[in-house]
Amino acid sequence: MEKIKKVILVSGMSGAGKSTATRILEDMGYHIIDNYPVQLLSLLVDIIENSTDPRYSYIALSTSAEDFREFLRRIKGEGIDVRVLFLDAGDSTLISRYKSTRRSHPLLLSNTANTLEEAIAVERQMLSRTIDDSFLSLDTSFMTEKEMKATLNQYFAKSTVPSFSISFISFGYKYGVPLDADLMIDVRFLPNPFWDINLRTHSGNDQDVYDFVMNNDQTREFIKRLLAFTDYAFEEYVKEGKNHFTVAIGCTGGQHRSVTITNFLYDHYKDRYRSYKHHRDEKEWIR
C-alpha cells in the first residue's frame, strides 16, 4: 500500500507567526517550502504524488493570504493528506509587531494597500472567505514560542515519539572530550574489561564485554541512579522545548565501558525519543 504524503498548508495573517511555525515544523522533521510560485503548483503536486524522496513525505507549505485559496484548491490528489494551520492575531498585536521589527507588510510592498492598518484590514478580508472549521486556527496574540511548539507537536507530530532527540556518544578520555556534549558521564570507575586478557581485544559491541560490564553489582547500582536522573531530566527538556540533547559517556580508551553504557542507554530510550548513537573511539581490533 502506498504511503500517504502529509502536507501542512501554513497561512494566516502576516505577522501572526508563520516563520516561527515553519521553523518549529522543520525541527519536527517537516520539509519546508516557502514562497512557492502559485503558477507551478501542478508541478509541485506531481512531485509530491510521485517522488520517492523522503523529503516529500512530510511537507509544510507556507503561503500568503493572496495565494492561500488557490493553494488550498489545488494541493489535492490521491495519496496526499492536506491539513491547514491558520495563524491569526489581533490587529493591535500585528501593528505592534510590524512597528518593532520595522518590516513592511506584503500588501504595502505590492501596492495593494497604502497604510499598515489598511493592509491588515484588506488581508483579513481576503482570508475571511476561506476560513474553515477544519483548520487548526491559532491566535498567537499572547502565545509564546514554547506554547506554539507544544500545540504543533500535539496536532502534527510525525509519530508518537516526541520530536526531542538524543545523541548518545561513547568516547575515550585519552583522546579528548566531545565538544558538543550537553551531559558528560564518566564511567571510568566501573570494572574494566581491558584487564581480562580474553576481553581486551573486544569492545562493548561484543556480548561478552557487554555482559561483563552490565552484570556487575556496581554497574547495576550506577544504572539505577543514572536512569532516575535521565528519565526526569529528559522529560523536563521536552517540556522546556529543547530539540536535541547530546549525552557523552567516557571511559579511558572508549572501547569497553563507555561503549557498553552507550548501547544500554540507546536501547533504553530509542522507543521513547528519537535516539542516535555513535562510538567515536571504538576500534576494530585485529583478533
Q: Which residues pair with 34 in a beta bridge?
A: 62
Task: Output the nine-digit C-alpha cell for 86.
Answer: 491558520
User: Contact, 105 vs 45, CB < 8 A?
Assistant: no
Q: Cα–Cα distance between 75 and 42 in angstroms, integer?
A: 8
CA dist 107 to 13, 113, 123, Å?
11, 6, 8
**pTM for the structure as a whole:** 0.61
pLDDT digits over 46-83, tens only? 888 888 888 888 999 999 888 888 888 888 766 788 88
Section 170-192 average pLDDT? 93
Residue 1: predicted pLDDT: 40
Q: Kindly list the domain boundaries of the chain, sorted by start residue.
A: 5-156, 165-279
Q: Cα–Cα distance between 102 and 221 in angstroms, integer?
A: 58
Q: Which CATH architecture has domain 5-156?
A: 3-Layer(aba) Sandwich (3.40)
pLDDT digits over 212-268, tens only? 999 999 999 999 999 999 999 999 988 777 778 999 999 999 999 999 999 999 999
Q: Cα–Cα distance between 49 and 6 in angstroms, integer?
A: 10
Give 142's DSSP letter.
T
Give 4's DSSP letter.
P
What are the two backbone dihedrals, phi and then psi, of residue 87, each rounded to the nearest 5 degrees? -110, 135
Helix residue ranges, H only, the chain: 18-27, 41-50, 65-74, 91-101, 106-109, 116-128, 145-156, 207-214, 217-240, 257-269
Q: Which residues pair with 61 in a beta bridge?
A: 9, 33
Share of residues in the chain with pLDDT > 70 (%): 95
Residue 149 has pLDDT above 90, yes or no: no
